[in-house]
Amino acid sequence: MDAQDCQAAASPEPPGPPARSCVAAWWDMVDRNLRYFPHSCSMLGRKIAALYDSFTSKSLKEHVSLPLIDMLIYFNFFKAPFLVDLKKPELKIPHTVNFYLRVEPGVMLGIWHTVPSCRGEDAKGKDCCWYEAALRDGNPIIVYLHGSAEHRAASHRLKLVKVLSDGGFHVLSVDYRGFGDSTGKPTEEGLTTDAICVYEWTKARSGITPVCLWGHSLGTGVATNAAKVLEEKGCPVDAIVLEAPFTNMWVASINYPLLKIYRNIPGFLRTLMDALRKDKIVFPNDENVKFLSSPLLILHGEDDRTVPLEYGKKLYEIARNAYRNKERVKMVIFPPGFQHNLLCKSPTLLITVRDFLSKQWS
């Protein structure tokens, strides 16, 4: 096959007209787009009008869907800090091990166990079995139930864990189902089950060492839910610490920063309450504390704007009125400067907690 035959084989289509210059082709494209521009604007206008009609034709209740409510309450999709290997806690905080606890089929919780700083040297190079056995060493244990969004490696949570570890506490930092690398989907019932499971797992391994449930913000609702169930089972929690608590989620959601901007929309609050009821999101701290007998310490910052101080005060009043032993309930208000997440920076936090628990456990 000669060169002419090769060219014919490689170009089966008949030769077309000579190629036009790039500049001429470019101007043709511009001309076509300019002629199409009014048409595309018209199409865009029709799409916007259709979306507007679709939005206004539906009731507010149809727009406030259950997935949206779940997203706003739990905010678990925001898995910050990003690029953190939750299987390697030693990169973020010393003498800490990561492990997983199976709650039920399809639900595995990621947990960090930080031992007291006084045992830091002993913990070097040790595995999960050593950490588990260390729960019997007599140092008090805190099961930490965090608030919405982020996960167990969030900076303000790590600061609190370090303070507690330096103060002689074991800390189990739990990511509920759907948070961090824990599997499953968050629901109020599910988070409560998670907390009960971790508490009972810890109690089974702690011997006579006391175990305290510590809830922050959303976690206060999880803590009192779990404590109430355990109380009904005849196994009251050794102690409960509620940091920045609300009375119930219906009240707290009205003040929630992400929802504040919608409060003036006619019918929004009623629609929100209906959605919370339908999704069974209540976290009724104000009702739960009426059934508890465990030592209860409430901590609140004076300048907390996420969960205002008035909610903590109201909850304290309800609990104190309900408890037979009034000495088992205490509230401590921290001065301005710590807001919602940073009570861990207060120099009096640790001594406040230790003094309360030591008196209750003596």
Catalytic residues: 217, 304, 340
Q: Give 118's DSSP letter.
A: G
The CA dihedral of 307, 311, 312, 316, to the nearest 10 degrees, is -160
- CA–CA distance, 86 with 98 (Å, rounded to integer): 7
Q: Are 142 and 169 in contact (CB under 8 A)?
A: yes
Give Cα separations from 231 to 75, 181, 187, 287, 297 (angstroms): 29, 30, 21, 14, 17
Is residue 79 within 8 Å of residue 150, measured between CB atoms? yes
For 112, half-sphere exposure in the C-beta direction (CA atoms, 13 angstrom radius) is 30
**Tokens read off for 161:** 């864990």
Hunting for tokens 């810890």 — which residue is that? 202
Burial class (CB in 10 A: 0-12, 13-18, 19+), 137: middle
Tokens encoding 318:
């309800």
| Contact predicate 216/244, CB 8 Å | yes
Instruction: Tell me the one-letter amino acid at 258.
Output: L
Whole-number Å distance between alpha carbons of 162 and 242: 18
Helix-helix angle 188-206:218-232, to 10 degrees? 60
Render 216-259 in DSSP notation, one character per residue.
Answer: ETHHHHHHHHHHHHHHHTT---SEEEEES--S-HHHHHHT-HHH
DSSP element (H, E) containing 129: helix 128-134
